Amino acid sequence: MEIELSKLETILGVVFIDKNYLLSAITHRSYLNEHKEATQEHNERLEFLGDAVLELVVTDYLYKKYPEKPEGELTAVRAALVNTVSLAESAQKLGLNDFMLMSKGEAKDTGRARQYILANAFESCIGAIYLDQGYDAAKKFIGEQLFNKTDKIVEKKLWQDAKSRFQELAQEKVSITPSYEMLSQEGPDHDRMFTIGVFLRDEKVAEGQGRSKQEAEQDAAEKAIDTKGW
């Protein structure tokens, strides 16, 4: 594990004083269920902390970068920068996936479920850096990983939620208002996964998944924009 952690430290650009913070950051709850001998905590508490640090750092950055933008737009830009897809993409780019400690079952998961795990691990790493090295180190890490996405988000109006963007584009390009239809729902109440289709009249353009209907609709709209090349 030491070798793996030192590799991860190199990737994150941080040498930890307390390696346990880093070890916990990459430990999914499911891993501890299968490895009773493990002594580290899983990463949910670190994720909780990292989420708060991330929000403050990004809010501070956007507030200073866009002095002319109103609160509502800044909130939307921030949401686009720190949503599951954006964080999972940054985690993937770092190669966090290769270091995650998960149960065999979770390790097989791909797609949306894996995105959640990676996004959460990204926030956990922020929490770990903050506890071990302080606010400035966490701010530096977040800046290096996320701030370069901001111009594209603002320029392409990616801060608008995907449903609004797809509706605007569909009305502009084909004069149709998209409709959404539930295709399936799976899993127990506390861990439900919804699949929703987005349609332009009779044409099913894309399918989306999420832990709520709203999230599945947003995912479907995002994929529909890609599918149409809009």
Per-residue confidence band for 108, with pLDDT thresholds at 50, 70 and 90: confident
**17 and 95, same domain (yes or no):** yes
> Does the annotation mark 51 as catalytic?
yes
Q: Is 95 left (phi over 0), alpha (psi -120 to 50) or beta?
A: left
Mean pLDDT of 76-80: 91
The answer to whether the CB of 153 falls within 8 A of the CB of 165 is: no
Share of the chain above pLDDT 90, in %: 75
Taking the C-alpha atoms of residue 224 and residue 149, their distance in angstroms, rounded to an integer, is: 21
Structure-token pair, residue 205:
């353009």
Q: What's the pLDDT score for residue 10?
A: 95
**57 and 72, same domain (yes or no):** yes
Tens digits of residue pLDDT in 196-216? 999 999 999 999 999 899 999
Please enumerate in sequence order all residues whose Cβ is within 8 A of that of 190, keeping only pairs 6 or more positions apart, or say none. Answer: none
**28 and 98, same domain (yes or no):** yes
pLDDT at 28 over 80: yes
Tens digits of residue pLDDT in 33-44? 889 999 899 999
Mean pLDDT of 64-87: 93
Residue 14's closest CA among 120, 162, 136?
A: 136
Sheet holding 193-200: strands in order across?
A: 179-186, 193-200, 203-210
Please enumerate in sequence order all residues whose Cβ is within 8 A of that of 79, keeping only pairs 6 or more positions apart, or say none. Answer: 159
Q: What's the pLDDT score for residue 2?
A: 52
Tens digits of residue pLDDT in 174-183? 999 999 999 9
Task: Select which of 47, 89, 106, 123 is catalytic.
Answer: 123
Taking the C-alpha atoms of residue 166 and residue 163, their distance in angstroms, rounded to an integer, is: 5
Taking the C-alpha atoms of residue 10 and residue 14, their distance in angstroms, rounded to an integer, is: 7
Q: Which residue segment(s) compose the domain that 96 sits in?
A: 2-155
Token pair 């793996």: residue: 4
**141 and 204, same domain (yes or no):** no
pLDDT at 230 over 90: no
Domain count, the chain: 2
Q: What's the pLDDT score for residue 211?
A: 86
Residue 74's closest CA among 88, 55, 59?
A: 59
**69 and 120, same domain (yes or no):** yes
> Does the annotation mark 123 as catalytic?
yes
**178 and 139, same domain (yes or no):** no
Distances (CA, A) of 164 to 35, 149, 153, 217, 225: 45, 20, 15, 11, 11
Please enumerate in sequence order all residues whose Cβ is within 8 A of that of 59, keeping only pairs 6 or more positions apart, or say none. Answer: 74, 78
**54 and 138, same domain (yes or no):** yes
**168 and 149, same domain (yes or no):** no
**31 and 145, same domain (yes or no):** yes
Taking the C-alpha atoms of residue 115 and residue 37, their distance in angstroms, rounded to an integer, is: 27
CATH number at residue 117: 1.10.1520.10
Task: Select which of 51, 89, 106, 161 is catalytic.
Answer: 51
Token pair 């809010």: residue: 59
- Round the average pLDDT of the chain to a whole number and report it: 92
Among 155, 178, 204, where does a domain finish?
Answer: 155
**81 and 129, same domain (yes or no):** yes
**113 and 173, same domain (yes or no):** no
CATH number at residue 171: 3.30.160.20
Tens digits of residue pLDDT in 112-153? 778 899 999 999 999 999 999 999 999 999 999 999 999 998
Q: What's the pLDDT score for residue 194?
A: 95
